Structure 1
Amino acid sequence: MDSAEILDDYSRKLLAELQRDARASFADLGRRIGLSASATAERLRRMEDAGIIRGYSVDVDREALGLPILAMVRMTCDGPRYHPFLKFVKELPEVQECHHVTGGDAFFLQVTAASIAELERVIERLLPYGIPTTSIVLSSPVARRAFELSRSRG
């Protein structure tokens, strides 16, 4: 089924509510969007089947886990080091996200660390794969934003 067929006004409202509170019950979600609990559950199932909803997650406070350092690392990575880097970075627990990007850099990594010394060790471990350029995050005015679903796309 085409995702455009699934994403009517009710489904968009449902996605918006889930982004606010993914733990809400079908009954509560249904009340918020104007559908029964069973109709809400069926819409969720269809969106999961279509791959619109890929999963449900928990937003964990990294600082509460003892990881106060958040850094963005831009990485250059030439041809022969590309595949070894991909394998390495997938196994590096400090890397929370890794994006392959266009432009002068090849990758953009989001890295967490317990200290500056730990961040330095991570950067040193990246050196065999290319040139890392690191920026430490001071604050995040927009840390995570829900997808805007009410406006039309296209």
Structure 2
Amino acid sequence: MNIDRLNSKILKCLQENARQSNAEIGRQVGITSPAVSERIKKMEDLGVIEGYKTIVSPFEIGYQLRAIITLRAFMGKLKPFLEKVKTYDEVINCYRITGDENIVMEVVLKNQKHLENFIDQLIVYGESKTQIALSHVVKQKAVKSL
């Protein structure tokens, strides 16, 4: 889909606050509420807009640690891991990557013991490395239209 200037502005508004009304978005971009609605629907239908969600603070609901874990899978263990990782509640993001490691995961954990137990589950799939995240530098940054 060709993202024109108006659609780009609408996407920016939605990424800043997906709960704002079409009327409010229309005021910001200079078109009517029905025109905003029509453009949003078209972008949803074409897969430009993949969905809407609520972002929850893991720390406010009891998680004390956020970590980045990389995994270098053992021979024959990557495909089984790709299915298993989907079942881990701790994993909030997971990417299959190029380079020495195969996987990068972002995980949230209750405490150090929880981290130790989680790493123990990974041992059968490969060699892991863990870094504890101290803070967000860039968080949920909006994707800019080309």
Alignment-derived partner of residue 88 in structure 1 = 84
Deviation at 1:56, TM superposition (A): 0.5
Q: Does the 8 Å contact 2:74/2:127 carry over to 1? A: no
Partner amino acid, structure 2, of 1:114: K
Gaps of 5+ in 1: none
Q: Structure 1 segments of 4 or more deviating over 6 A?
A: none
SS for the counterpart of 1:64 is helix
Deviation at 1:148, TM superposition (A): 2.5
Q: How many residues are paired up?
A: 146
Instruction: Give 1:25-36 correspondences, 5 Å limit.
Output: 25-36=21-32
Deviation at 1:116, TM superposition (A): 1.0
Alignment-derived partner of residue 100 in structure 1 = 96
> What TM-score, normalized to structure 2?
0.96
Alignment-derived partner of residue 49 in structure 1 = 45
Partner amino acid, structure 2, of 1:13: K
1:75 equivalent to 2:63? Answer no
Deviation at 1:83, TM superposition (A): 1.6
Distance 2:107 2:134 in 1: 14
Gaps of 5+ in 2: none
Alignment-derived partner of residue 9 in structure 2 = 13
Identical columns (%): 33
Deviation at 1:79, TM superposition (A): 3.3
Deviation at 1:78, TM superposition (A): 2.9
Distance 1:148 1:26 in 2: 20
Deviation at 1:82, TM superposition (A): 1.3
Distance 1:59 1:84 in 2: 29
